[in-house]
Structure 1
Amino acid sequence: MTEPLPAGDFLSGLEAIVGAQHLLTDTAAMAPFLTDWRGRFTGSARAVVLPLDTGEVARVVAACAAARVPIVPQGGRTGLVLGSVPDASGAAIVLSLRRLNRIRQIDAANRTMTVEAGCILADIQGAAHQAGMLFPLSLAAEGSCTIGGNLSTNAGGTAVLRYGNTRELCLGLEVVTATGQVWDGLRGLRKDNTGYALRELFIGAEGTLGVITAAVLKLYPQPKAALTALVALESPRSALALLGLMQERCGAALTGYELMSDFCLRLVASQFPALPRPFAAHYPQYALVELSSNESEDHAADLVESAVGAALDSGIALDAVLATSSSQALGLWKLREHIPLAQAAAGKNIKHDISLPVSSIPEFIERTDALLQAAFPGCQVVCFGHLGDGNLHYNVAPPPAVGHEDFLAHQDVVNRIVHDSVAAFRGSISAEHGVGALKRDELPRYKGAVEVDMMRAVKAALDPLGIMNPGKIL
């Protein structure tokens, strides 16, 4: 990639576009933009640029294209695969979209909202709620992640089972291309068969093809009620059986279905003892189930009680707790949401964000657990995730007698075991976090040559200078 150029005219040109206050070149001022969320890697940049609107983004990108300066687009910097931080060369600028944070329009009749890329996800949820509607994307980082980052990584979350990933929640985009042109695709259409689906190229591209500056998002009716239950189970196979039963009985009312092992909840209890302990006994697995109803709270309660009752009667479920208040429901969800926090507090482990056909998940867990135990006796698998849509966070902690740093030295071997097993089940090594720089070198092993060649052809066509987020994905 291009060698770092001297300051002078280039930086002066950027300053003329965004103003001196929004062009950061001081080391201390740039520092928060250069380190990834987990604190594992710190890159270097020529400058951090904070444009105000799409026009300024376009002028900045055009200036970078003219000077052959790489660009790293950045949202809330909550990604987990080193996709939004620059490398160590110092050649790139960081293009922060945080100032593009306006909600441009809410079209209640069309059930859409047009927002800028720097809008915080929680603020979008709040604006939809105030308008009497729902934007259903929900994930742990929603208080700081931005919709531009969500779109660029095709983020998932807890409601994918009912509403789909971010891709399914977006109808139109505004994008600054790698040459500094603006594509206005902000159309709130649910049907549009006029050529290639360009929107689909930029969603999930992690800023490697262009810069998303705004989007038209789908809105939904607010549910009249949402109910949560925690169901104790014997095994992942029981969890799969319960999922089928819940889908058959509850249909679209089933909005969330999360799998958690007993080891996960024991870990949470050890690090956060103030959180609730719903059961007096321990069970091997748990399913956190959420139902929402557009009819009434009584309707939702009837659905969940009937389905869970049938699961208990048939022996699929061993025990169950139904939340009877919003505070109890929040307590159950906190158990799920605190698993990553408990992992971090307990020490470093080797993380995997994978997806599989839902039907294959029990066999995958059994087979991969056994492979890991054979290679690293006593290792501890922290397995949890969105079983309803096939997405597992399958993380591996060291045996009790092995230090965390010592175990991390085996990361490549652990990754190979897990990812090869994923591939054997026709799964994906990245479900909702993206590829970034962290998984870039593994991609060719798990995607066919034809597929990688097509991706490279798209990249070359839309970013011929190779300046958009270089070193990510490909």
Structure 2
Amino acid sequence: MSFDASAFVAKLRSIVGDKGLIVDEHGKRPYLSDWRENYLGAALAVVRPVSTEEVAAIVRLCAAEAVAVVPQGGNTGLVGGGVPPETGRAVVLSLTRMNRILEVDTIGYTMTAEAGVVLKTIQETAAAHDRLFPLSLAAEGSCTIGGNLSTNAGGVQVLHYGNARQLVLGLEVVTPAGEIWNGLRALKKDNTGYDLRDLYLGAEGTLGIITKAVLKLWPKPRDIATSWVAVPSPDAAVALLSGAHAASEDNVTSCELMSRQGIDFVLKHIPGAADPLAERHDWYVLLEWSSARARREGGNEGSLGAKMEAYLGEAMEKGLVLDAAIAQNESQARAFWALRENHSEAQKKEGPSIKHDISVAVGKMPAFMKEGLAAMRKALPEGRPVPFGHVGDGNMHFNCQAPAGWDKVRFMKHGEAISSAVYDVVVRYGGSISAEHGIGRLKLDELAHYRSKIELDTMRTLKRTLDPQNIMNPGKIVQI
């Protein structure tokens, strides 16, 4: 029997109604491409359900008609994981209308939310209840918690709180058969069989669709110290971090490393950006300490700010710090963070770039940086390296900006050589070619090349077993 697209769309309409269905090409367009505009897919429709039951009904219909389902949150990903295939026999299932906070348990330090809640809303809701949800990343104003969990997002506080996998207790998931698994358990101990939750965290929607989650909360910080530090090298940055753990009494929450090239791009393209220090330097660290203990009334003595000032002074005497500025208020701290968080936006405005989301052990970072930068420059001497990121947990966005004046077509002819050169060094250092962005479509070939046969075979076995029709976000992570 031939596929009747019109009848299929009519059935979708009967599930989600007119408000939950987008079929015109202009309306679909924002859902068919990625943030970096590297991919453009096609879809029969964009469906926007308002409940888990509607998600399940959509998936059952798609399974019956052999139509691919591409789950999508805020569509802020960088590897094409939320883009439908070009064939057009697919629906984009946007979860942004499922945006309710269902419960905040201040006693148990948990929050239950639907998958379409924007990360910033999660953070603000936690703060309103005098709690902290620590996941924080540049796209937090538009990315959704379902997407964060489906990609096992990292962000700037991983070294203290862990990545998304460590921030969730329970999930509700719609399976490829359209069944609903209710694993919304707020349990910190549960050894009753296989941990199904971990199957879906980081699976990029290829094994099922996360529809709700029970999230962990922490005490809201009462004392925060933020500094912008010029360092002579990545070696000094790692040494500074190592000593900071004890100096802060284990309160280091963020440690970000940036090169001057990235800062120059931010100052050039982001209105209001300003250099915190009077002189230019090659490398910078954004260091933040935070504690749930309140500052003492009537002075700075004993505060994290005072401890940070003393520590940076000692580090300067040792040659680990060239200059530093400690934020005197929240506004200054936000300005420091804006310089870090606007790197991706500034790179996009500067022109084409190749992004490498890599990780190595923190202790190996300085040696990797030297060898990796040399490999990148050898692959394209005219290229402009832009390394920045979470040196505190070993994750760097080891990017290469196109030479000034080059268009994307000309630059991308060198893309494979640049990425291969970088990834070969990463693997030699025992690192990962995808620390927090995922695999999506962008890194399919690299995953197949750098991971072992047994790992790939196990992934494919899982995919075939849970999604035998291969309708759940096909063409992402592994090909079957």
Structure 1-normalised TM-score? 0.96
Moved more, 375-384 or 425-434: 375-384
- Name the amino acid aligned to 1:340: S
- The question of 1:32 aligning with 2:36 is answered no
SS in 1 for 2:354: coil
Label 1:277 to 1:21 Cα distance change in 2 as closer, same or farther (>3 A).
closer
Q: Deviations over 1:398-436 (max 9, x none)?
A: 344755542221101111101111111111111111100
State which of 390, 406, 411 in structure 1 corresponds to 2:410: 406
- The amino acid across from 1:52 in the alignment is V
Supply the distance in 1 between the matched residues of 2:474 and 2:42 (Cα, whole angstroms): 14
Task: Determine the structure 1 residue equivalent to 2:284.
Answer: 286
Amino acid in structure 2 at the alignment position of 1:349: S
Partner of 1:432: 436
Whether the 8 Å contact between 2:49 and 2:98 is mirrored in structure 1 is yes
State the partner residue of 2:194.
Answer: 196
Question: Do structure 1's residue 303 and structure 2's residue 307 form an aligned pair?
Answer: yes
> What amino acid is the match of 1:89?
T
Whether 1:338 aligns to 2:342 is yes
Taking a change above 3 Å as real, the CA distance of residues 11 and 301 of structure 1, as seen in their structure-2 partners, is same
2:471 to 457, 463, 467: 467
Are the counterparts in 1 of residues 379 and 421 from structure 2 also a CA contact under 8 Å? Answer: no
- What is the alpha-carbon distance in structure 1 between the residues aligned to residue 20 and residue 3 of structure 2? 20
Question: What secondary structure, in the 3-state scheme, does the structure 1 residue paired with 2:181 have?
Answer: strand
Shift of the 378–10 alpha-carbon distance from structure 1 to 2, 3 Å rule, reads closer
Compute the displacement of 1:208 (Å): 0.1
**Correspondence 1:35-434 to 2 at 5 A:** 35-272=33-270, 274-297=272-295, 298=300, 299-400=303-404, 405-434=409-438
Per the TM alignment, residue 279 of structure 1 is displaced from its structure 2 partner at its CA by 1.6
Shift in alpha-carbon separation, 1:42–1:398, aligned structure 2, 3 A: closer
Which SS does the other structure have where 2:340 is aligned? helix
CA contact (8 A) 1:176 1:210 kept: yes
Structure 1 position 41, deviation (Å): 2.0
Q: Structure 1: which 5+ runs fail to align?
A: none
Conserved in 2, the CA contact under 8 Å of 1:377 and 1:399? no
User: Match for 1:218: what amino acid?
Assistant: K
Give the drift of 1:20.
2.8
Q: CA deviation at 1:4?
A: 9.0
Query: Residue 328 of structure 1: CA displacement?
Result: 1.0
Q: Deviations over 1:197-216 (max 9, x none)?
A: 11011000000000100000
2:5 aligned counterpart, secondary structure: coil
Count of equivalent residues = 472
Give the CA deviation at 1:273.
6.6
Structure 2 residue ranges without an equivalent (≥5): none
Shift of the 350–55 alpha-carbon distance from structure 1 to 2, 3 Å rule, reads same
Letter in 1 for 2:100: R
- SS for the counterpart of 2:322 is strand
Secondary structure of the equivalent of 2:62? helix
SS at match of 2:204: coil
Please state whether the residue corresponding to 2:316 is helix, strand or coil.
helix
> Which has the higher mean CA deviation after the structures are superposed, 440-449 or 295-304?
295-304
- C-alpha RMSD over aligned residues: 1.6
Report how far residue 85 of structure 1 moved: 1.2
The range that moved more, 213-222 or 124-133, is 124-133
Query: Which of 454, 463, 470 matches 2:458?
Result: 454
State how far apart, in whole Å, the 2-side matches of 1:4 and 1:337 are: 50
Contact 1:348/1:405, CA 8 A, preserved across alignment: no
1:45 and 1:366, CA in 2 relative to 1: closer, same or farther beyond 3 A? same
Structure 1 residue 79: Cα displacement = 0.6
Contact 2:247 2:307 in 1 (8 A): yes
Give % identity: 49
Measure the CA separation in 1 of the matches of 2:412 and 2:404. Answer: 14
* Distance across 2 between alignment mates of 1:28 and 1:5: 24
**Structure 2 match to 1:21:** 19
Are residues 270 and 25 of structure 1, via their aligned partners in 2, closer, same or farther at CA, if it must alter by over 3 Å?
closer
Report the CA distance shift for 1:273/1:10 in structure 2 as closer, same or farther (over 3 A): closer
State the alpha-carbon separation in 1 of the partners of residues 118 and 66 from structure 2: 31
Distance 1:252 1:305 in 2: 16
